[in-house]
Amino acid sequence: MQAAKPSQNRKSKIINLKSKMLLSIETSCDDSAVALLDMEGNVITSQISSQTALHERYGGIVPEIASRKHLTTLPLLLRHVLRESSVKLTDLKGIAVTYAPGLIGSLLVGVSYAKTLSWITKAPLIPVDHLEGHLLAPFLDHKELDFPFLGLIASGGHTHLVVAKGLGEYSLLGKTMDDAAGEAYDKVAKMLGFQYPGGPIIEQLAAGCPKPSIEFTVPLKGKKNLDFSFSGLKTAVRNEALARKLYVEKKKLISFKEFSNQPDSPEKDMIRDIAASFQLTVEKTITGRVEKALNKTNLKQFVLTGGVAANRGIRKSLTKLAQKKRKQFFYPQLEHCTDNAAMIGYTALQYLKSGRIDNDGLLRLNASSKSPIGLMNVQKPD
Ligand code: KG4
Ligand code: ZN
């Protein structure tokens, strides 16, 4: 069995052992994550074991591989987290777990594990919607953020623009009609010959081309609604790659490092140009949609969250928008943008504190690939 490799830069803080702890588990996709928070919401430790190395050669996540890996990694991560924090199972005051949405096999591993821990410790089981976890993640790093705010959740599976009025009170303003923003990054990277996840690679490629030359059409520009669409842009990139003989469906997918180590060539410059032009179009798309939503809602604060929130270009463009519109803009620290258990713990804690957790029957909790009570089903306001 391979030892779980906890990510770097997640040092444990000095903890107050008198205060009880909340344990959180996140396994909705390809990252196994476990965190401990104190009852004030401070992150004591947040560990992530990435499966990227297992999936990158396929250019996307293989669900079966993901769930099997969670199964072997979770016990190791839990042991590591408890040991490094000197916390015992009897110190736990709640067990939070992502139960939806995501890959069903992956979710089932986390949910079964959390149920077992809850049964052993008698600590309440707190089911958390993954999207709500992302939405509230900026609170981990910004104590000044408060409800109500406008939120854009942009990840590998979702692009949701929501108004967050209060805990559990969300209304959906718009969402993607086809590919999610992160999915578009991943697919564009793959068609240019790069491994999964594509977002960070496209960002690095784009940084090597300060003056992108291709003018891709900004999707849904001029449309009144607040939905998103990325599949047309993805096709435009594909056509550009085909025209330049760069489309490499069957070639072995490479990392950014391998690309950097290749000798310079006009082909490499063209790849950088396509990546930078795509990046710029995504920035314009997202910024345009957020501006429209701010005009419509007149909210004073907005957040960008989810894996795509790690993108510096999009952050920069939204920071400029915030200055122009005199709004406050928040995004999580890098480690809280992509999937992590700290955001799941934080969300669970808010529900625990609000007294809305009833442990009766929760051991019958099931995982769900869709979000039955979360943000997927909220009604669009009139
Ligand atoms: O939130 P997340 O970790 O998992 C989901 O819930 O889907 O998001 C993963 C997605 C992937 O599609 C990945 O390519 C994208 O986030 N991503 C980025 C960046 N870092 C991760 N997209 C653009 N720029 C980045 N720097
Ligand atoms: Zn996510």
Q: What domains, with CATH codes, occur in the chain? A: 21-138+339-364 (3.30.420.40), 147-331 (3.30.420.40)
Q: Tokens 């930078």 appear where? A: 276
Q: Whole-angstrom Cα distance, residue 345 to residue 341?
A: 6
Residues 266-293 as b/e (b if ≥16 CB within 10 A, e otherwise) read: eebebbbbbbbbbbbbbbebbbbbbbbb
Indicate whether residue 30 lines ligand 1 (CB < 6 A): no
Residue 217 phi/psi, 5° resolution? -70, 135
What is the pLDDT, as a whole number, of residue 11?
42
For residue 61, the ligand closest to its alpha carbon is 1
Indicate whether residue 29 lines ligand 1 (CB < 6 A): yes
Name the residue at shortest CA distance from atom 3 of ligand 1: 338
What is the pLDDT, as a whole number, of residue 249?
63
Determine the atom of ligand 1 nearest the C-alpha atom of 28. Answer: 6
Q: Whole-angstrom Cα distance, residue 225 to residue 188?
A: 25
Q: Whole-angstrom Cα distance, residue 34 to residue 46?
A: 6
Indicate whether residue 332 lines ligand 1 (CB < 6 A): no
3-state secondary structure the chain: CCCCCCCCCCCCCCCCCCCCEEEEEECCCCEEEEEEEECCCCEEEEEEEECHHHHHHHCCCCHHHHHHHHHHHHHHHHHHHHHHHCCCHHHEEEEEEEEECCCHHHHHHHHHHHHHHHHHHCCCEEEEEHHHHHHHCHHHHCCCCCCCEEEEEECCCCEEEEEEEECCEEEEEEEECCCCHHHHHHHHHHHCCECCCHHHHHHHHHHCCCCCCCCCCCCCCCCCCCCECCHHHHHHHHHHHHHCCCCCCCCCCECHHHHHHCCCCHHHHHHHHHHHHHHHHHHHHHHHHHHHHHHHHCCCEEEEECHHHHCHHHHHHHHHHHHHHCCEEECCCHHHHCCCCHHHHHHHHHHHHCCCCCCCCHHHCCCCCCCCCCHHHCCCCC
What is the pLDDT, as a whole number, of residue 13?
45
* Alpha carbon of 131 to ligand 2 centroid (Å): 7
* Alpha carbon of 188 to ligand 2 centroid (Å): 19
pTM, two decimals, is: 0.92
Tokens standing for residue 60: 């996307």
* Alpha carbon of 160 to ligand 2 centroid (Å): 12
What is the pLDDT, as a whole number, of residue 361?
63
What is the pLDDT, as a whole number, of residue 4?
39
CB-CB contact of 24 with 34 (8 Å): yes
CB-CB contact of 330 with 151 (8 Å): no
Ranges under pLDDT 70 in the chain: 1-19, 248-250, 359-362, 372-382
Is the previous residue joined to 266 through a cis bond, with omega within 30 degrees of 0? no
Our mutation pick for probing the ligand 1 site, out of 50, 158, 338, counting the most ligand atoms within 8 A of Cβ, is 338
Q: Is the dihedral of CA 78, 81, 82, 83 positive or negative?
A: positive
Identify residue 47 by its one-letter amino acid code: Q
* Alpha carbon of 55 to ligand 2 centroid (Å): 16
Cβ-Cβ contacts under 8 Å for 290 (sequence gap 6 or more)? 150, 152, 161, 302, 304, 318, 321
What is the pLDDT, as a whole number, of residue 364?
78
* Cα radius of gyration rounded to whole Å, the chain: 21
